[in-house]
Structure 1
Amino acid sequence: MKPCMLLALLLFSLVCLMYQASDACSCAMSHPQDAYCHSDIVIRAKVVGKKLLDDGPFGTLRYTVKQMKMYKGFDKIQHVQYVYTDESESMCGVKLDINKYQYLITGRVHDGKLYTGLCNFNERWERLSLAQKKGINHRYQLGCNCRIKPCYSLPCFVTSKNECLWTDMLSHFGFPGYQSRNYACVQQKEGYCSWYRGMSARDKLNINTTDP
């Protein structure tokens, strides 16, 4: 190999390592409903294996999963066997435990493969609230035409009838807050969207777009 080519390769490797070390993954917080609505695939699965693929400058992790249930994405992939993510957490790669837990996994499909990352919603199934599980099963899809509007500092207002004001960042220092764990933003009559909680018959509550 010519010295100039070797030098160029070394410089490229150094730049990649510096980028990996200095550039951390950064994601805006999102309500689980947004994660559901903006994902191609939503499944519950157990990770049973993993393999590091020599793909790209930092590699790609391929998780082998045992799919328990698919909630969204039947038109994209009939059955998920593999989930792909970046090997490096600085590139938003996800670390999942093998043969320990069932996970809710969300992601996007590219070239027939399911990709996920830290900016997607991936959580151990037992850590989800009852309302979140119900949302994933049915309620979240009722609100995919709604917009969940984050409120980072007061005052905050909705600006259209299809918005629900999300205030977890004010009272709970971000996700997971009370609204994230207990409410879905669903479309009501005449296109209006509002927070909905349907835990049980006595807890059923329809409230306006600015509460809770």
Structure 2
Amino acid sequence: MKSTLLFLCVVSVVVITEACKCFLSHPQTNFCRSDYVIKARILGESNVDDFRKKYKVQVLVNYKSGYTRPFRDSVIWISTATQSAACGVTFDIGSTYAITGSISNGEFRTNTCTWNKKVTDLTSFQRNALQNGIYRDNCNCKIRSCPHNVCEQGEGCLAPYATSSCYDEQAACKRSLGTCQWTQNSC
């Protein structure tokens, strides 16, 4: 009787991609960490290369105080990765957005880790917080997310994961009577 050996070969293909890695943050946290926060109308776009794109925007409002640029009604270019690249942001031509990002070597940059939202998609609370300086004036207050909805006491405002979107859309962390606490909301 012949003995037949059977060899089983398993081939595994692993694809490694460079994805955009960032933690989602409250709009106030994004505002405070950003070099610029503007309301801008998207005028046009231009491909820089296979991985980068620039958007021509008209600045309607500069929400960040203390920065000399961008000025109201100025036209600037904002650089981002292309949609197919990691962290790429896509804006609709003709639409108006609240855009946050960094400035490096005079270049305005943004990506999916910052807060970029159509103005029409902002909640009334978010519009109010931007227009009336609620986010800007409370950058000294820190917002802390609570993993597994277990919040340990500490400095700042605590946001349980289960309700974090409610806090993102309806609340800001404000200093009142020497401590930071959430604005009144229904979260």
- Report sequence identity in percent: 29
Deviations 1:144-193 (A, max 9, x none): 11110101213212222xx10012x214xx6xx11111111011122x00
How far off its partner does 1:27 sit? 1.7
Equivalent position of 2:180 in the other structure? 193
- Partner SS, residue 63 of structure 2: strand
Q: What secondary structure sits across from 2:29 in the alignment?
A: helix
**Per the alignment, in what secondary structure is the counterpart of residue 91 of structure 1?**
coil
- TM-score, length of structure 2 as denominator length: 0.82
Size of the alignment, in residue pairs?
169
Return the structure number with greater helix share: 1
Runs ≥4 residues deviating over 6 A:
none
Structure 2: give runs of 5+ residues left out of the alignment.
Answer: 1-14
Match in the other structure for 1:128: 122
Question: What is the CA-CA distance between 1:88 and the residue it aligns to?
Answer: 4.6
Give the deviation of 1:121 after TM superposition: 0.1
Which residue is equivalent to 1:178? 166
Taking structure 1 as the reference length, what is the TM-score of the superposition?
Answer: 0.73
CA distance in structure 2 between the partners assigned to 1:42 and 1:32 by the alignment? 11
When residues 154 and 27 of structure 1 are mapped into structure 2, their CA distance, relative to the original with a 3 A threshold, is same
Q: How far apart, CA to CA, are the structure 2 residues paired with 1:73 and 1:94?
A: 25
In structure 1, the partner of 2:157 is 164
Once the two structures are superposed, the pairs formed by residues 94-105 of structure 1 within 5 Å of their partners are 94-99=89-94, 101-105=95-99
Indicate the RMSD between aligned Cα atoms, in angstroms.
2.0
Contact conserved, 1:76 with 1:112, CA < 8 A, in 2? Answer: no
Q: Distance in 2 between matches of 1:185 and 1:74?
A: 21
1:82 lines up with 2:70 in the alignment: no
Q: Which residue of 1 aligns with 2:24?
A: 29
Gaps of 5+ in 1: 1-17, 198-204, 206-210
Q: Which of 149, 157, 163 pairs up with 1:154?
A: 149
1:34–1:148: 8 Å Cα contact kept in structure 2?
yes
Matched, 1:63 2:55: yes
